Amino acid sequence: MFLFKRRPKIGGLIAFHGIEKWWLKSFTEQERNYISDIYMPMGETNKNSLTDGKARQNRGQFHEDNFSTLLSSIPSYLRAPKDRPLQRKYLESALPLARNPMTEHFLLIALIENYYSDREDPAALSKAGELCERDIKLAPAFKSAWFKKFPNDKNEEGEVCLAIQDLSSCR
């Protein structure tokens, strides 16, 4: 007879990036299975690369780039209206894991779009506004990180251009 419940063995990208405890704590088994089942990046051959197998660095990218890409790409697999609550839960739990302003910005943008999609609800609209303000405060750090990583990313006149995303296209 076992007195302790065994924790599921987690592999794949979740283990590679050392976020197994977060994964298990943040989501129910049903939610974890659903996210793992729908996460299938283009060119990936392992159906459950998120949680199964041994992950390796992809195409020589830095570990941090892979981590940021992983965190900010998962919400794109949760775009269906029925997935909106799970996408929101994911984004809210992933924000504290952001290790740099760029990752935080992209997670915030996805979370803003999620809340704004429910703008008929005054609480959701208010939350979207709060998140916009947070992202605006993050802008100087984001800009610095962006141009450190992409120093040649300027317009034709050589000026730096940043734009506020048009949320009116979110439906």
Render 2-62 in DSSP notation, one character per residue. Answer: -SSPPPPP--HHHHHTT-HHHHHHHS-HHHHHHHHHH---TT---TTTTTSS----STT--
Helix (H, G, I), strand (E, B) or coil at 119: coil
Residues 106-123 have pLDDT tens digits of 999 999 999 999 999 999
Contact present, 165 and 116 (Cβ < 8 Å): no
**pTM exceeding the 0.85 threshold for the entire prediction:** no
CA proximity to 91, closest of 73, 107, 105: 107
Residues 11-69 have pLDDT tens digits of 888 998 899 999 999 999 999 999 999 988 877 766 778 888 776 655 444 445 578 88
